[in-house]
Amino acid sequence: MTLQTIDTKPYEGQKPGTSGLRKKVKVFQQPHYLANFVQSIFNALGGMTGKTLVVGGDGRYYNREAIQIILKMAAANGVSRVLVGRNGLLSTPAASAVIRKYRTTGGIVLSASHNPGGPDEDFGIKYNIGNGGPAPEKITDAIFAETKTISNYNILDWPDIDLATLGDKLVGDMAVDVIDPVADYQELMQTLFDFRAIRSLFASGFRLRFDAMSAATGPYARAILEGALGAPAGTVVNGEPLEDFGHHHPDPNPVHAKALFDLMYGPDAPDMGAASDGDGDRNIVLGKALYVAPSDSLAALAANAHLAPGYRTGLKGIARSMPTSGAADRVAAKLGIPAFETPTGWKFFGNLLDADMATICGEESAGTGSNHVREKDGLWAVLLWLNIIAARGQNIPAIMREHWQTYGRNYYSRHDYEVLDTTLANDLMAALRGKLSSLVGQNFRGETVAGADDFAYTDPVDGSVSSGQGLRIVFESGSRIVIRLSGTGTEGATLRVYLERYEPAGGNLGMETQEALATMIALADELAEITSRTGRSEPSVVS
Ligand code: G1P
Ligand code: ZN
C-alpha cells in the first residue's frame, strides 16, 4: 500500500451546476479530471480524516471506474469508512436515505440524472451533505474555488475492490461496506405508506405500469412494487439498469417515455402509469388518458398526504421552485400552512426541510419529495399516489377532477429549446432582462403585465441570497411566463420557457393544455423574440 501524491493542474469549467458537475464521459476520462474534482470536494470540506461517506451512482457508463478512483482517494485522504451500493448502484433518493440513516459525514453521488449515458454521453458527480441533501451553494462555491487552484491530489495504490458482493472490505486502512442498495430505502418506505392498503389495491386487480427506463429505479421498483406490494410480475418494465439506458434518454417526458404515454392514451390503458429517470429522483404519473402535470401532482399529493401514515399529522408547509405552477400554493392556503417559492434545484429545499418549515416539496421538472430524505424521490411519489388511490377508492382522473373543482386549475406547460448556441441564448436572456421593467403596465394581446423581474431568493433560514434565478413576467389575470437557461445541460444552451394560466373552479377545467395556454405561448415568443433570435419555430420538447 503506497500513498501517492499526484501532481496535477486545474481544469477550467469544473463549476457545479444546478445539480453537481455534469460533463461528457470523455471529459471526465481526461487524465486527473475526476480526481481533481474529488480532491477539491475533500479540500473544500477541510480535510477528510476520520470522516465517513456514502458512495453510489445511477449505474451509468463510467460509474464503476469512478467509484474505484473515489475509494482509493478517500482512503488516501483519511476517510475512515465508506458505504457503497452493490455494483456501485444507489438511486439518488436511496443515497440520501443511507446518508441520513447511518449519519455519515456526507456522500458522493454519481449521476447525470435524466441525461443519456454511454461512452459518448454524460456523466456527473455531486457532493451531498450530512442531512442527505445536495451541498448548498456555499459549499459548491468552495469546491469550485478549489478546482481553480488544485496542484496535487492523494490516491492510494491499491487494487480495485469487488463491488459485486455484499460485506466489509478494506481499501488500505479504510473500511468499505458494500450494502444492498434497496434494503434501507424499502424499510423507510414501509414506515411512510400503508403497504397493506396498497397490497389490497393490487389484489383487487388495479393495474400499474412502471417504466424504470433501464435506469437505477428498476431494482427498487421490482422489490417494492412486485415484491412487497404484490403487483403482478411485469408491472415494472425496463427494470434492468443498463450503462447506456438501452440507448434511450432516461428522461420521463412525453418524448422519451413515449411508449408509456402511448399505452396510457391507448385502448388497453392500465389504471396508472408511472416512470422515473436515470437516478430515480424524478417521476411522472398518468391515469387513463390523463398525464398529471408535475405541478398538479405536487398539489394533489399535498392535498391528500394526510391519507398516508407518514403524513397523518399534517404538513408544516409546502415548497415549490419558482417556475413550478402556483397550484400547490392554493392547497397550502386552504390548509392554512405556509407556501415557499425557491429557485430551481432541490438544494434550495434543504434548509426549509431541516428547519421543519416545509414537509412536501416539488418542482415542475417531474420532481416531488418530502422530509423523509433530502432529494426528490420518484418511487416515493408513486407510492404516495398508490396510497391515496387506495385510501380514496378513486382513480387518478377522478381525483384530479375533484381537485380542480376545489382549487381551480393552473394550466401549465414547459417548452424547451435545446442545444442552442450559448452566445445567442445569453443574448436573448440579456435582451429580455433589459426590457423587463418597461413591460410593467403594458397590455399585450389583452393581457396586462402586473410585474416583471429577475427572480432573487433570500433563504428564510440562513439569509443567503441567490440572484439571477429566472426572468418572470406576471400578468394581472394571474397568468405567468418564466424564462431561464438550464443549469444542467452539457451541450450548448437550453432555453426553458414556463407557461401558466389559472382557471378558477367553476371555469373551463377540461381544456387541452396547449390550447389553454395559446395566448401565453404567443406572448412568450413575442416578448423574448424566441423564433426570430433562435430560428426555431418549435420547441424541442413540450412537457
Ligand atoms: C433541471 C430542472 C430542475 C431540477 C434539475 C435537476 O435543471 O429544471 O428543476 O432540479 O434539472 O434534476 P435545469 O436544467 O433547468 O437547470
Ligand atoms: Zn434525476
- How distant, in Å, are the alpha carbons of 23, 120, 357, 448 from that of 215? 19, 17, 33, 45
> Which of 114, 126, 361, 365 is the best mutation target for the ligand 1 pocket, counting ligand atoms within 8 Å of the beta carbon and taking the most?
365
In the reported structure, the alpha carbon of residue 47 is separated from the centroid of ligand 2 by a whole-number distance in angstroms of 29
Phi then psi dihedrals of residue 4, to 5 deg: -110, 140
Q: Whose CA is nearest to atom 8 of ligand 1?
A: 365
113 is catalytic: yes
217 to 25, 232, 238, 240: CA distances (angstroms): 22, 17, 10, 9
Place of cell 455534469: 22
Task: Please tell me the number of the ligand nearest to residue 91's CA.
Answer: 2
Which ligand is nearest to the Cα of residue 18, counting in written order? 1
**Phi, psi of 481, deg, nearest 5:** -125, 130
Supply the pLDDT for residue 196.
98
pLDDT beyond 80 at 489: no
172: CA distance to ligand 1 center in Å? 38
Position 69 scores a pLDDT of 98
CA nearest ligand 1 atom 1, residue: 488
pLDDT tens, 504-523? 999 999 999 999 999 999 99
Q: Average pLDDT over the chain, rounded to whole?
A: 97
pLDDT of residue 487: 87
**Atom nearest to 18 CA in ligand 1:** 16
Confidence of residue 284 (pLDDT cuts 50, 70, 90): very high
Ligand 1 nearest-atom number relative to CA 365:
9
Per-residue model confidence (pLDDT) at position 250: 96
Rounded percentage of the chain residues whose pLDDT exceeds 70 = 100
Residue 242 has pLDDT above 90, yes or no: yes
* pTM (predicted TM-score): 0.95
Nearest Cα to Cα of residue 497 among 428, 438, 449, 440: 428
DSSP 22-51: EEEHHHHTSTTHHHHHHHHHHHHTT--TT-
Pocket residues: Cβ below 6 A from ligand 1: 18-19, 113, 321, 344-346, 363, 365, 367, 486-488, 496
Q: Which atom of ligand 1 is nearest to the CA of 494?
A: 14
Q: How many percent of the chain have pLDDT more than 90?
A: 97
Residue with the smallest CA separation from ligand 1 atom 13 is 486
What confidence category does residue 19 fall into, taking pLDDT thresholds of 50, 70 and 90? confident
- When pLDDT is cut at 50, 70 and 90, the band that residue 195 belongs to is very high
Q: What pLDDT, on the 0 to 100 scale, is given for residue 17?
A: 85
- Contact between residue 441 and residue 474 where contact means Cβ atoms under 8 Å apart: no
Q: Are 541 and 255 in contact (CB under 8 A)?
A: yes
- Summarize the confidence of residues 358-372 as an average pLDDT: 97
Q: Has residue 491 got a pLDDT over 90?
A: no
Ligand number nearest CA of 470 is 1
What integer pLDDT is reported at residue 197 of this predicted model? 98
Q: Is the pLDDT of residue 490 over 80?
A: no
- Give the integer Cα–Cα distance in Å for 201 and 235: 14
Q: Is the pLDDT of residue 18 over 80?
A: no
Question: Which strand (E) or helix (H) includes residue 404?
Answer: helix 396-407
Ligand 1 atom, smallest distance to 19 CA: 6
Give distance in angstroms: CA of 174 to centre of ligand 2: 30
Residue of 363, 364, 374, 416 best suited for mutating to test ligand 1, as the one with most atoms within 8 Å of CB: 363
Distance 485 CA to ligand 1 centre (A): 10
Residue 358 has pLDDT above 80, yes or no: yes
What's the 260 CA to ligand 2 centre distance in angstroms? 18
Atom of ligand 1 nearest to the CA of 364: 9
Cell of 234: 411485469
Residue 294: its pLDDT value, please? 96
Nearest ligand 1 atom to the CA of 281 is 12
pLDDT over 80 (residue 253):
yes
Contacts of 515 (CB under 8 A, 6+ apart): none
Considering only CA atoms, which residue is closest to atom 10 of ligand 1? 345
Per-residue pLDDT tens digits for 169-183: 999 999 999 999 999
Kindly state the cell numbers that stand for 488.
444542467
Mean pLDDT for 16-37 is 95
The type of residue at 343 is P
Domains and CATH numbers, the chain: 2-181 (3.40.120.10), 185-407 (3.40.120.10), 409-542 (3.30.310.50)
Phi-psi region of 280 (alpha: psi -120 to 50; beta: other; left: phi over 0): left
pLDDT band at 86 (very low <50, low <70, confident <90, very high): very high
pLDDT for 1 beyond 80: no
Antiparallel, parallel or unpaired: β 272-276 and 208-211 = parallel
What's the average model confidence in pLDDT over 120-138? 95
- Which of 92, 344, 348, 491 maximizes ligand 1 atoms within 8 Å of its Cβ, making it the mutation to test the pocket? 344
CA 502 / ligand 1 centre spacing (Å): 24
Q: Does the structure show a pLDDT above 80 at 240? A: yes
Tens digits of per-residue pLDDT, 392-416? 999 999 999 999 999 999 999 999 9
Tell me the mean pLDDT in the region 109-137.
95
User: Inter-axis angle of helices 378-392 and 183-192, to 10 degrees?
Assistant: 30
**pLDDT above 90 (res 427):** yes
Q: How far is the CA of 394 from the centre of ligand 1 (A)?
A: 32
pLDDT in tens, 288-340: 999 999 999 999 999 999 999 999 999 999 999 999 999 999 999 999 999 99
Catalytic residue, from 40, 113, 370, 413: name it: 113
* Model pLDDT, residue 117: 97
Of the bound ligands, which one is closest to the alpha carbon of residue 345? 1
Q: In what order do the strands lie in the sheet with 447-454?
A: 443-444, 447-454, 471-475, 480-485, 493-503, 409-420, 541-542
Mean pLDDT across the stretch 484-489?
88
